[in-house]
Copies of this chain bind each other. A is one copy, B any other.
Amino acid sequence: MTEKAHHAVAREDNALLAALPTRERNDAHRSSQLFTLGFGAKILEANTRSQHAYFPIRGAVSLIRTLSSGPTVEVGIVGNEGMVGVDIFMDARTQLNDAIVQGEGLAWRMNAEHLLLRFQRNGEVQRQLLRFTNAFITQVSQTAACNRAHSMEARLARWLLMMQDRVAAPQIRMTQQFLAHMLGARTASVNEAVQKLEAARVIGHRRQEISILDRAGLEAMACECYAIVCRVYEQAILN
């Protein structure tokens, strides 16, 4: 299935940039800096115009909405297959998500004005970015439905799979507290779900760390949303 394609592939470059024509790709690299995605870093802030766009090479970034009543909910995950900062070329007035690094890694960071210029000047750049944006819309839509319909356990399984695809490491590092913020739930609820997955022997876990022991098994316990989102991004990236 899709897991092989995502899994364990050494990523040389961000897939969006890699799909650009040589000339544009080179230009993108020249006008970007390599940026370390440090765990927990907030690379984009709600209610602020993005100063930079990030094209992850490795690592995962969560887009998170904080509700005024308190809880936080993750609405999407971006990694190698995409970028953070679509508001730059969408001519956005507003942007209500925070972007927080969930899985350490590396990204190309590009100046907002520069990105906008490239977007406007080059049709191929534009098409590639819009195609990703459309896939991203699909991811968020799926999340909206998922949040309504699927159990904690299934959503946790999906999250772990998506995260592992992007960090390309066997273990995923984070506190259950943090995970609870992503899934919009209590730490206790997450813990319960973790234990269920562990009882099913598809994951193992220690303090601050979850490792996937049986990927196929975990996929079977995840909701359909995992496979759907994978497929959508695959199709979006193929030239």
Contact = CB atoms under 8 A, between A and B. Distances in A.
A73 B148 contact: yes
A228 B148 CA distance: 20
Contacts of A123: 120
A134 B90 contact: yes
Interface string A115-158: 00000100100010011011111101111110111000000000
Contacts of A231: 94
Total copies of the chain? 2
A98 B130 CA distance: 21
A224 interface: yes
A63 to B, nearest CB: 8
Contacts of A67: 145, 149, 224
Interface residues of A, number: 47
Interface of A: 63, 65, 67-69, 71, 73, 75-76, 86-87, 89-97, 120, 123, 127, 130-131, 133-138, 140-145, 147-149, 184, 224, 228, 231-232, 235-236
